[in-house]
Amino acid sequence: MNDLTQPFKRLPVALIGTGSYVPERRLTNSDLEKMVDTTNEWIVERTGIEERRIAAPDEKTSDMATNAARKAMEAAGARPGEIDLIIVATITPDPFTPSTACYVQANIGAVNAAAFDISAACSGFLYALKTAVQYIGCGQARTALIIASEKLSHIVNWEDRSTCVLFGDGAGAAVLRTGTGIEGDSAILASDIGADGTLTDILLVPGGGSAIPTTEENIHEKLYTVAMRGNELFRHAVQHMKDSALSLIKRTGIDPNDIALVVPHQANLRIINAVTARLGIPPEKVFVNLQKYGNTSGAACIIALDEALRAGRAKKGDIVLMVTFGAGLTWSSAAIRI
Ligand code: COA
């Protein structure tokens, strides 16, 4: 889905602060060797992941979201009362309803904000970004807080070696704004979101919803955990991430050489390498932190962006390209001038 530039004159939208949070507990590959039939070598070679973070039993998705949000607001210099929109991207909400965004709103005291969740799995953060850009661009909001937060450890089958080695918990957040407070040329230059609903069965949590409601039997069968055909997903991921990024580059007229940093979804190092090689982006311009956190779904790309910015990997005026894919299938990309 591309940006429609007509007939509206859109307001410029800038990313003015980011924040992230990961739980303290580390689960290393050698810990996993004691839980399932796997090895550190296999996990590192096939994925690049060395360890992941696991939330405490009483640590909710909204708690992690709130921690990340507070850091993003601090970086942006945004006060709670200024925020008029909160979007949380998550597939592991606190309860199914009300939204996790409403819990965050209460936690941070953003009394003037509308709040809702969106579900686009690992593409969730950039889906939230595009949604917020539309609200702000059309004058319906001025300051938006967008967050992706996941407690995936809760929906992982810890007996399934083909999935449990991949995922981790964490949250990332960003503040978007128009009008005063925007420094220099900072801007969300363009974004792209897409989906292919014919491929819902490649990656899903089958049970617990209206299709397969929770019963004692399907809890026993672990139907509330992630089921995935990793091999097929891998191929679709490379294809869609490459296509989404290329269409964005073409539409914006950005010279790929002018991209200072690519911050991709952090699912698998081999996917990242395959996509960026096809885009002609050299490895030194690609930010990777999946070795520390595994795949934190929608949170992965914004945790990575936050770490990259705090590490000085992109400076004011640089163009950063983000690109993701996830269950749905969904995919998304965004070009951001920092
Ligand atoms: N440890 C050791 N062996 C494992 C293993 C593990 N943790 N997980 C799977 N294997 C085995 C398989 O059983 C299979 O054995 P077999 O050949 O005897 O049947 C073998 O390794 C190869 O499995 P395969 O699934 O073909 O491996 P792969 O090279 O495709 O790598 C993934 C598996 C999951 C790492 C890879 O497909 C992937 O990353 N896919 C995308 C997943 C993803 O990104 N998901 C999130 C989307 S947002």
Residue 185: the pLDDT is 74
For residue 329, cis peptide bond before it (omega within 30 degrees of 0):
yes
Quote the percentage of the chain above a pLDDT of 90: 91
> pLDDT tens digit string along 171-195?
999 999 997 545 567 889 999 999 9
pLDDT mean over 86-114: 98
> pLDDT tens digit string along 215-251?
999 999 999 999 999 999 999 999 999 999 999 999 9
Nearest CA to ligand 1 atom 46: 267
Residue 10: the pLDDT is 80
Ligand 1 center–CA 172 separation, angstroms = 27
Cα–Cα distance for residue pair 140/331, rounded to 1 Å: 25
Task: Evaluate: CB of 267 within 6 angstroms of ligand 1.
Answer: yes
Task: Evaluate: CB of 47 within 6 angstroms of ligand 1.
Answer: yes
Task: Evaluate: CB of 97 within 6 angstroms of ligand 1.
Answer: no
Which of 70-74, 199-203, 254-258, 309-313 is predicted least confidently?
254-258
Nearest CA to ligand 1 atom 28: 231
- Residue 284 pLDDT class (50, 70, 90 cuts): very high
Ligand 1 center–CA 161 separation, angstroms = 8
Ligand 1 center–CA 37 separation, angstroms = 12
Q: Answer for the pair 147, 87: CB distance below 8 angstroms, yes or no.
A: yes
Ligand 1 center–CA 162 separation, angstroms = 5
Which of 86-100, 106-120, 167-181, 190-204 is predicted least confidently?
167-181
Q: State the average pLDDT for the chain.
A: 94
* Burial class, 1, CB count within 10 angstroms (exposed 0-12 / middle 13-18 / buried 19+): exposed
Task: Evaluate: CB of 164 within 6 angstroms of ligand 1.
Answer: no
Residue 302 has pLDDT above 70, yes or no: yes
Pocket probe mutation, ligand 1, options 119, 155, 160, 162, max atoms within 8 Å of Cβ: 162
Alpha helices, DSSP H only, in the chain? 29-33, 40-47, 61-76, 100-108, 124-137, 161-164, 216-220, 230-252, 269-279, 290-293, 299-310
Alpha helices, DSSP H only, in 187-229? 216-220
Residue 79: the pLDDT is 97
Residue 2: the pLDDT is 58
Ligand 1 center–CA 288 separation, angstroms = 20
Task: Evaluate: CB of 42 within 6 angstroms of ligand 1.
Answer: yes
Pocket probe mutation, ligand 1, options 47, 268, 293, max atoms within 8 Å of Cβ: 268
Q: Answer for the pair 264, 324: CB distance below 8 angstroms, yes or no.
A: yes
Task: Evaluate: CB of 165 within 6 angstroms of ligand 1.
Answer: yes
Cα–Cα distance for residue pair 124/119, rounded to 1 Å: 6
User: Among all residues, which ones are annotated catalytic?
Assistant: 122, 265, 295
> pLDDT tens digit string along 49-64?
999 999 999 999 999 9
Task: Evaluate: CB of 122 within 6 angstroms of ligand 1.
Answer: yes
* Burial class, 228, CB count within 10 angstroms (exposed 0-12 / middle 13-18 / buried 19+): middle
Task: Evaluate: CB of 162 within 6 angstroms of ligand 1.
Answer: yes
Nearest CA to ligand 1 atom 33: 230
Ligand 1 center–CA 47 separation, angstroms = 9
- Residue 11 pLDDT class (50, 70, 90 cuts): confident
Residue 6 has pLDDT above 90, yes or no: no
pTM: 0.95
